[in-house]
A and B are shown apart, each in its own frame.
Chain A
Amino acid sequence: MTMDRAETSARIAALIEPFNKKGIEVADATRFTDDLEFDSLTVMDFVAAIEDEFDIIISMNQQAEIENYGQLVDAVVKLQG
């Protein structure tokens, strides 16, 4: 079943919350490293949470292409496709 972008975005937004220590407002252009200040350990835990939620794999190769929130949502939508 293909999920629409808004629903996927909402589920990802909920998953970001525990990792968003400074409570920064998240929009499509929000960058994980520069804005949310995710270090490599946080990235690993966050990616694992998304993979489990959507039952997908986001390989390191795919992660390298994802810099901001909007790109992540697009990638997850596509991976569920």
Chain B
Amino acid sequence: MTDMLSENETQGHADLFSKFDPLIEMRRDLLSTGVTDPFGLVMEKVISPTVALCNGRETILLGTYNYMGMTFDPDVIAAGKQALDDFGAGTTGSRVLNGTYAGHKAVEEALCDFYDMKHAMVFSTGYQANLGIISTIAGKGDYIVLDIDSHASIWDGCKMGDAEVVPFKHNDIEAMEKRLRRIPEGAGKLVVLEGVYSMLGDIAPLKEMIAVAKKYGAMVLVDEAHSMGFIGPNGRGVAEDQGCLEDVDFVIGTFSKSVGTVGGFCVSNHPKFEIMRLVCRPYVFTASLPPSVVATATTSIRKLMTAAEKRAHLWESSRTLHKGLTDAGFQLGTDEPQSAIIAVIMPDLERGAMMWEALLHEGLYVNLARPPATPANMTLLRCSLCAEHSAEQVQQIIGMFTRAGKTAGIL
């Protein structure tokens, strides 16, 4: 044995990390310009849903997904504290074994009430909800037809399953129909769409697209992560707003945006939906959400059902910011405000990073988004509004953008 080992020469190993060299170099180039690392921000203290302490400075938050400002809602906080006391810090178990507490059933009931649907299944994150549902329901020989600008969790769900994956051009109804028409007869079909596309903040023409999908006998899954709580008369999302929610087979959503905590879900009226709990691996093979998280989510979801005034105020802020930035001379991702996301298009990554830093110095945090996360290789400064932003804050934000735009040479 010893002899054999000594005969083996040590081979020079290929560094598995060399594939990341281009990205490492791109990052080094960007940081060498002296710009603050846009992907390394730390919030030292969170003062409210709209203000945090960053680098010792009070900063207005315009880059969170806290659309409805529920993170500091007193009822939500109280529910979480109570659950911590009553049920402990975590479940240490899978939903199908020892990880289902009364709170997990309660949050699923709250979701059924919120969406007026029969079944709800809660995952530990929104990412896992897409990963689990898509990879499980579309199997070998089935076809997934999806928008090319779909979220990473949708793509990863496709990659994890065995179905044929067929993308079409963003929001292009004709391109979608052509692909559905070409699918071999008898094959299972799943069309995957999003209500709001988070990079540009644009919405999908769901009514038309779902009608086409149904014409070809496809099942439809809609990710309403960025619309829940805000869009639609009851905050159920873009499908509700366009009057086609009843034609959606599966709605995917998250607790990490309007709900204000973390977790993901799928709601459905499919009569066999409950079998998902046994066959969906990202649901089974992971620990369930902590009791405090599901308690905060339940309280938040129930409060969002009656949050019409907050919704109205958020729409008002979205319109004001969109108009203010347009008037200031910025190029935006949409001609009209379509959601709580307003994307400001930057000429390139370097000036985008400069502008991002200039805004931070003004006391404003937005998200810098760059390829490959963005469509058409764009660099974007993504602003996401919160219902708790006051009208004064929105005016302040427009002023900050105008000054920073001049500093960075964008305007």
Interface residues of A (CB under 8 A from B): 39-41, 44, 48, 51-52, 55-57, 59-62
Contacts and interface: CB of A to CB of B under 8 A. Distances in A.
Given A40-B372, A41-B377, A51-B178, A60 B165 contact: yes
Contact of B166 (A40, A41, A57): A57
B178 A44 contact: no
Given A40-B372, A57-B179, A48 B166 contact: no
A44 B148 contact: yes
14 contacts: A39-B377, A44-B167, A51-B182, A52-B178, A56-B182, A57-B143, A57-B164, A59-B143, A59-B164, A60-B164, A60-B165, A60-B166, A61-B164, A61-B165
Nearest to B180: A57
B370 to A, nearest CB: 14
A44 B169 contact: yes
A41 B148 CA distance: 10
B379 to A, nearest CB: 15
Given A48-B175, A52-B178, A59-B143, 14 more contacts: A44-B148, A44-B167, A51-B179, A55-B182, A56-B182, A57-B143, A57-B182, A57-B183, A59-B164, A59-B166, A60-B165, A60-B166, A60-B167, A62-B164
Nearest to B183: A57
Nearest to A61: B164
Given A51-B178, A55-B182, A60 B158 contact: yes
Contacts of A56: 182
B194 to A, nearest CB: 17
Contacts of B372: 40
A56 B183 CA distance: 8
B60 to A, nearest CB: 34
Contacts of A40: 372
B220 to A, nearest CB: 19
Interface in B146-173: 148, 158, 164-169
B169 A48 contact: yes
B151 to A, nearest CB: 16
Interface residues of B, number: 17
Contacts of B158: 60
B204 to A, nearest CB: 18
A48 B148 CA distance: 12
A25 B166 CA distance: 29
Q: Which of A40, A51, A52, A60 has most B Cβ within 10 Å?
A: A60
B376 interface: yes
Contacts of A52: 178
A27 to B, nearest CB: 28
A44 B164 CA distance: 16
B241 to A, nearest CB: 29
A30 to B, nearest CB: 23
B225 to A, nearest CB: 23
A59 B165 CA distance: 5
A74 B175 CA distance: 24
Nearest to B372: A40
Most buried by B among A39, A48, A52: A48
A41 to B, nearest CB: 7
B156 to A, nearest CB: 13
Nearest to A58: B166
A40 B166 CA distance: 14
* Most A CB within 10 A of own CB, among B143, B165, B169: B165
Nearest to A55: B182
Interface in B169-220: 169, 175, 178-179, 182-183
A44 B166 CA distance: 11
A56 B228 CA distance: 37
Nearest to A56: B182
Contacts of B183: 57
A16 B161 CA distance: 31
A41 B235 CA distance: 34
B182 A41 contact: no
A61 B142 CA distance: 12
A52 B175 CA distance: 9
Contacts of A62: 164
A57 B372 CA distance: 25
Nearest to B178: A52
Given A60-B167, A61-B164, A41 B178 contact: no
B140 to A, nearest CB: 11
Nearest to A39: B377
Nearest to A57: B182
